[in-house]
Amino acid sequence: MEHPSSQSLFAQLRSACISQWHAFTHHRFVAALADGSLPEPAFRNYLIQDYRFLVHFARAYGLAAFKSEAISDLRAASAGLMALIDQEMPLHVELCATWGLSSDDLDAAEETETTLAYTRYVLERGLAGTLLDLQVALAPCIVGYAEIGQRLIEAPQTGLTGHPYRRWIETYGHPDYQEVASGHIRHLDVLMQRQGSASRMPVLIRTFSDATRLEAAFWETSLHASVDRLPGPATTSGTGR
């Protein structure tokens, strides 16, 4: 992922919410995932809930297409949706299959309060606001995962050989996903020029902060997963390659 200019909207939003951003991107869930010590039930719970999360994000991209004013907006919405369909959701289905969970199981999974709160918040920002408001609400997830993936895949201490969560790290550290995040950052600047103003920054910062805090809460909820509450058989099989 290319380093955003300090003048970009994303860089300004991240700078205004730097403590929340660090709490999200350096959460203890991420640290445990990086060194492979994350308990399997926590990762499994995360994958199931994140799959449900992505279903609603796909709806958000549909809303983004509806609110589009230019072909560039439609292309950005399409790129985000295809990243979900072609990269992220297949990863979740593949890894959950190792625990005997089918895509039907994932579709039927009950959403946690955290998943409900985060996904409905993003959709509300899109319904109540402009396309810029919606894309700002989506930004912490899209760009944050790229930042985490890039950091983990480049860190010598991660050690991908035999890593139980290698597929996850490789997916979000892959150049294809990195470009999706870079494209989102660029599109935010286009939208800011068209729909934004200095007077709108407090609202945009609040949206970015809220979504970032909800990302950290998503990690935290997954850490407290109970084996008894998870669908599918309990296993000790790894998910690495």
Judged against a pLDDT cut of 70, whether residue 230 lies above it is answered with no
Active site residue 96: no
Distances from the Cα of 191 to the Cαs of 9, 49, 132, 196, in angstroms? 10, 30, 6, 7
Is the Cβ–Cβ distance between 87 and 96 less than 8 Å? no
Q: Using CA atoms, how far apart are residues 218 and 220, in angstroms rounded to an integer?
A: 5
Residue 231 is predicted with a pLDDT of 53
Q: Using CA atoms, how far apart are residues 106 and 188, in angstroms rounded to an integer?
A: 32
Q: Which of 40, 88, 147, 215 is catalytic?
A: 215
Residue-averaged pLDDT of the chain? 91
CATH 2.40.50.220 holds for 9-224:
no
Q: Using CA atoms, how far apart are residues 239 and 184, in angstroms rounded to an integer?
A: 29
pTM: 0.89
Residue 228 is predicted with a pLDDT of 45
Residue 150 is predicted with a pLDDT of 96
- Region 214-239: what's the mean pLDDT? 67
Q: Which of 88, 141, 147, 170 is catalytic?
A: 141
pLDDT band for position 158 (cuts 50, 70, 90): confident
Residue 156 is predicted with a pLDDT of 73
Sign, Cα dihedral of 36, 141, 121, 208: positive
Active site residue 141: yes
pLDDT band for position 29 (cuts 50, 70, 90): very high
Residue 238 is predicted with a pLDDT of 39
pLDDT band for position 42 (cuts 50, 70, 90): very high
